[in-house]
């Protein structure tokens, strides 16, 4: 059985807020909150608006359908976003039922908007439009929210670095470049945002009791720069290795086919992250199930994939994305897709972390 060098999960919160993290006896660490507080707050606003609209119609349940992005974004995160919206609705007291006659569907995109009246520049925003339909598919309400911050970058599989020393205008320009003209770099078997970036993503295929790196390659991404690609075949069981050569700990949000590695968690910590120590690396062998078990990442046909089990469209599978956030210690204050493979035993204990700014996003395709 392949044993990772170091593994972990890390929790998160809004910058300068505390969140619980579980650190494992095998070197893993995890947490139960989301690093992207801006997105969670935005979805909470959306859920409350949906609840008000439902109450105006005299109903208290809704059937949640797909949330899609325009094809130009090549985003595979629609189902992951939908699952987060469902959780926000439940938290707001809305019943989500597949048989409810009232329906909620939507779309999302990335665009530039002025975040504050005093800003002399526009910021990258995740724009979500949710539409309520009655039983005859007639529109009851259309709700729009704009989410600023860093959430858009991971949802669209961007590729780029966001130096923490950048001024706000420069940071927004870096986000725009990461979305519109990604230019990843291959360094050995790693994918990086640049040759000198301290952060990297590597894919290894398990072989017996070990794992072999699978060398990535670069290919054109239409008119959107380049993208990294690694060849995986049906039946391959793989591990995602996260590198951190910086002098500080980072927390990483890892998604496969648009789904968080915690999407199938039995403990509900769907927004958790992975901690990578300074000057270290972490190997992630699969989907987190609970504090003892992980289901291996295994390439399969779409029908048997983890993505298909929660309704991810076949067009949205085939991407691995890692978002690296600054993390500091806290205190008590078919198409190919990835399936859920064999179970791997792991254990965890809880610690505290403060999750701060996004520093880099790296995406790798494994299916064309």
**Confidence class for position 1, pLDDT limits 50, 70, 90:** very low
The pLDDT value recorded for residue 128 is: 96
Burial class from Cβ neighbours inside 10 Å (0-12, 13-18, 19+) for residue 33 reads buried
What distances in angstroms separate CA 293 from CA 191, 283, 306, one per listed residue? 28, 15, 16
The pLDDT value recorded for residue 43 is: 94
pLDDT at 12 over 60: no
**Confidence class for position 182, pLDDT limits 50, 70, 90:** confident
Closest CA to 314 of 328, 327, 304, 329: 304
Kindly state the average pLDDT of the residues 220-243: 88
d(CA 304, CA 300): 6
Closest CA to 232 of 368, 342, 339, 367: 367
pTM: 0.79
**Which domains are assigned to the chain?**
18-36+159-365 (no CATH), 38-147 (3.40.50.10610)
Kindly state the average pLDDT of the residues 335-361: 66
Q: What string of DSSP letters covers 158-214?
A: --EE--TTS-HHHHHHHHHHHHHS---EEETTEEESSTT-SEEEEEEEEETTEEEE-
What distances in angstroms separate CA 44 from CA 12, 93, 129, 297, one per listed residue? 17, 11, 14, 31
Q: Give bridge partners of residue 170 from the DSSP assignment.
A: none
Is 274 in contact with 43 (CB distance < 8 Å)? no
pLDDT (tens digit per residue) in 273-312: 888 999 999 999 898 888 788 889 998 876 677 766 776 6
* pLDDT winner (highest mean) among 33-42, 188-197, 248-257, 302-311: 188-197
Angle ∠(26,32,34) on CA atoms, nearest 5: 120
Burial class from Cβ neighbours inside 10 Å (0-12, 13-18, 19+) for residue 296 reads buried
Number of helices followed by number of strands (H, E) in the chain:
5, 24
Is 237 in contact with 297 (CB distance < 8 Å)? yes
**Confidence class for position 330, pLDDT limits 50, 70, 90:** low
Kindly state the average pLDDT of the residues 107-116: 91
pLDDT at 233 over 70: yes
Is 62 in contact with 104 (CB distance < 8 Å)? yes
């Amino acid at each position: 059985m392949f044993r990772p060098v170091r593994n972990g999960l890390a929790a998160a919160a809004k910058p300068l807020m505390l969140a619980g993290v579980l650190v494992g006896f095998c070197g893993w660490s995890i947490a139960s909150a989301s690093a992207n507080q801006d997105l969670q707050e935005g979805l909470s606003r959306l859920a409350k608006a949906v609840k008000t609209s439902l109450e105006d119609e005299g109903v208290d349940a809704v059937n949640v359908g797909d949330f899609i992005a325009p094809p130009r974004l090549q985003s595979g995160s629609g189902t992951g976003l939908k699952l987060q919206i469902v959780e926000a609705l439940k938290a707001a007291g809305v019943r989500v039922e597949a048989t409810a006659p009232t329906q909620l569907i939507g779309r999302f995109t990335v665009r530039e908007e002025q975040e504050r009246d005093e800003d002399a520049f526009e910021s990258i925003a995740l724009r979500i439009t949710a539409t309520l339909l009655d039983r005859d598919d007639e529109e009851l309400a259309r709700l729009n929210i704009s989410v600023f911050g860093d959430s858009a970058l991971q949802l669209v599989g961007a590729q780029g670095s966001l130096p923490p020393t950048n001024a706000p205008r420069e940071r927004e320009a870096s986000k725009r470049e990461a979305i519109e003209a990604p230019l990843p770099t291959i360094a050995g078997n790693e994918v990086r945002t640049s040759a000198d970036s301290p952060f990297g993503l590597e894919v290894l295929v398990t072989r017996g009791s070990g794992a072999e790196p699978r060398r990535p390659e670069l290919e054109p991404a239409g008119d959107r720069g380049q993208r990294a690609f690694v060849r995986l075949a049906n039946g391959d069981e793989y591990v995602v290795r996260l590198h951190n050569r910086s002098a500080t700990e980072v927390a990483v949000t890892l998604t496969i086919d648009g789904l968080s590695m915690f999407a199938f968690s039995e403990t509900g910590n769907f927004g958790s992250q992975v901690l990578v120590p300074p000057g270290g690396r972490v190997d992630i062998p699969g989907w987190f199930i609970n504090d003892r078990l992980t289901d291996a990442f295994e390439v399969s046909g779409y029908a048997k994939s983890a993505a298909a089990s929660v309704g991810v469209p076949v067009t949205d599978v085939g991407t691995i994305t890692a978002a690296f956030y600054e993390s500091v210690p806290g205190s008590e204050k078919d198409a190919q897709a990835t399936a859920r493979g064999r179970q791997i035993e792991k254990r965890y204990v809880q610690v505290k972390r403060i999750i701060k700014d996004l520093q880099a996003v790296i995406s790798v395709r494994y299916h064309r």
